[in-house]
Amino acid sequence: MCLFFSAAFPSLLLSVALVAQPVPAFESKSEINLLSSASQEEHFVLIEEPQQQSSEKTELVIPNLLERQSFSLDRGEACRYIMDTYEILTGKKPKTVSENYFTDVDANSQQFILQAHNLGIVSGTENHTFSPSKGISRGDFATLLYRLIKTIYADAELSGGENIVFEEDISKSAMIPLQFAYSRGLMDIQSNGMIGADDVITLGEVSEILNDVLEIAPDFPVQYTKFSSKRAYLTFDDGTSENTVKILDILKQYHVKATFFVTGSCDESLLKRMQSEGHIIGNHTNSHKYEVLYSSSDAFWADFNKEQQYLESILGTTSPFMRFPGGSNNSIGMKNGVMGNITTQAKQNGYIYVDWNVDSGDARGNNIPKDTIVSNVLNGTNGKNEVVILMHQTKPKQTTAEALPEIIEGLQSQGYEIRPLTEKSYTPRFVK
């Protein structure tokens, strides 16, 4: 699967949405990929305009993204955003290319394609075509991204994903780029549990990927060294206690990260430990009092914001993650008719509220038998590729901490990779 992306921008925007299937990289066997700087020793000469210098990385802006985020992307528009990213990262505008290698590219409206070709980021065919309006697959876009990064950061360490084995057939040309993109957290699994190398990539996904590149460049730290189509997210609710220490010790022993949804004035040292050890901290409200929180939308946000301010005073930052006490379908909030407004406001304010699809059952009483908690979790995963597990960390939850090693080992034996929540993670919601 090789690259020769294209499309006139913006004249082909409407056609982007109509692409139903990924288009093969070659129209026929007679079309041969022209090697780029990513796949041969000889590199293209980088010639740039001296003006337009910038030292500040900025966000990539894609026109009409909100309306078009689910559109399938074509090769030309993909190339345009790759070159926009190039300019942001380098602070330099590539020199205008006068010689048009392609017979199906307009040198005026699609100059960015010629510049990308000149830099060795995209390729063509032996017939000098670029196929302007054809769809681009996730594997092809990963290759385009990989070549972009190699062009800008010639000495960057891009290895670390070579042991990742995907659960589908991947073309030889896309394998290393996909391993790189996955290992850095730039691409993740699809809803079917696959990386989706041959699926057409969407505009929304491309926006996320390229803005993530802008955020982490030039270091590109490795996040994942193996692939699993099954994910488990351990979550612990409520205030900290001595059980929190035990939970953190166990997570550290197993090299596992979790997510803590905290309430009230939690122990400052434990919050800082969670943060320093790579766990995610979310807001579970300050009071956790249903009668207060769900009396009105204003009451909820006043309580929530109090906790948010406390967390920021301790951690210096806050995360977008939140969990409603009792879940987004709790009986009091639903009875009072406020949950619809509150969940809508949460999304409008940029928060990600997270319910659960596996319940450990440790909230049904104090010190529920350890074996019951383990059984509830490991049986609750049946038939699920992604599980968000509800547990608690308060003082009466000693058996939750005791059950944690068996839960971790059991999940791993079932083939789950245990991760902390990210903005791209699966997030079950009782109220959509």
Query: Rounded to whole angstroms, what are the CA distances from 186 to 17, 195, 207, 413?
Result: 23, 12, 11, 26
**Residue matched to tokens 């699966």:** 426
Task: Give, in degrees to the nearest 5, the angle at Cα 271 between 267 and 277.
Answer: 140
Choice among 237, 238, 355, 362 that is catalytic: 237
Rounded Cα–Cα distance for residues 71 and 65 (Å): 9
Q: Quick one: tokens of 276?
A: 């320093």
Are the beta carbons of 131 and 6 closer than 8 angstroms? Answer: yes
Q: DSSP string spanning 341-354?
A: HHHHHHHHTT-EE-
Residue 281: strand pairing partners: 260
Q: Quick one: tokens of 383?
A: 């038939």
Residue 255 is among the residues annotated as catalytic for this protein = no
Rounded-to-10 torsion of CA 229, 232, 233, 235: 170
**Residue matched to tokens 């681009």:** 136
Q: Quick one: tokens of 332?
A: 């009091």
392: helix, strand or coil:
strand
Q: DSSP string spanning 350-388?
A: T-EE---SEE--GGGSTT--HHHHHHHHHHHTTT-SEEE
Are the beta carbons of 190 and 196 closer than 8 angstroms? Answer: yes
Residue 188 is among the residues annotated as catalytic for this protein = no
Rounded Cα–Cα distance for residues 202 and 22 (Å): 11
Choice among 117, 279, 284, 392 that is catalytic: 392
Query: What Rg value do the Cα atoms of the chain yield, rounded?
Result: 25
Q: Hey, which residues are catalytic here?
A: 237, 392
